[in-house]
Chain A
Amino acid sequence: QVSLKESGPVLAKPTETLTLTCDVSGFSLKNDRMGVSWIRQPPGKAPEWLAHIFSNDKKSYNPSLKNRLTISKDTSKSQVVLTMTNMDPLDTATYFCARIREVRWSPMPFDLWGQGTMVSVSS
């Protein structure tokens, strides 16, 4: 079954570093032309794209958060990891990972999402 599942701490303290993991099932991060993004959604607000890792390991970051984000993948574990430094209460949100199929010359939307993991930032 093709799926994504996020995991990580439910609560983080201000200034801490957050590490989130996206477990991938049903497709290969190594052999399939698939990329994975992290997207967050504060309560009652629109989604915000954070970062993306392509099948060739190229990375792209939202400039508004670039200095705080690192995205990586471990193909042997079928995982995509996001770290976000210097957490703030404004980072409270549900964090999703989502897949993009890579089609030559044709950008594609997010066709598969995880269920999301809620992270609250508070002292």
Chain B
Amino acid sequence: DIQMTQSPSTLSASVGDRVTITCRATQHLSSWLAWYQQKPGKAPKVLIYKASTLVDGVPSRFSGSESGTEFTLTITSLQPDDFATYYCQQYNSYPMTFGQGTRLEIK
């Protein structure tokens, strides 16, 4: 199985800040990585797929990048609606696996 190690587990930031969340895979993913946002009591919502492709309708302050087996989600100019939990997920191979999550909280 491909293991996904996500960091940090918690991130405190303020509105307007720029934040970065990192996910490292134990194997090469050929860019088949997605980022999801989840709010309490709701299902995850896909933001980015294929490491850096923004889903239609997702604000451009969200971006994704990759370097080898390390993937990064960046949110510039945090908005109040962005405070949530974020997960990475690899879909390069089965079983598909998720990172442990990053809870983005208001400082």
A115 interface contact, C-beta 8 A: yes
Report B56-96 CB contacts with A as 1/0, cut-off 8 Å. Answer: 00000000000000000000000000000001010110111
Chain B: interface size category: 20 to 34
Chain A: interface size category: 20 to 34
The answer to whether residues A62 and B95 also contact, given A113-B43, A116-B43 and a CB cut-off of 8 A, is yes
Sampled A-B contacts (30; CB under 8 Å): A37-B96, A45-B101, A46-B100, A47-B87, A47-B89, A47-B98, A48-B98, A49-B95, A49-B96, A52-B94, A52-B96, A60-B95, A61-B95, A63-B1, A64-B95, A98-B43, A107-B91, A107-B92, A109-B34, A109-B46, A109-B89, A109-B91, A110-B36, A110-B44, A111-B46, A111-B55, A113-B43, A113-B44, A115-B43, A116-B43
Binding site for A on B (CB under 8 A): 1, 32, 34, 36, 42-46, 49, 55, 87, 89, 91-92, 94-101
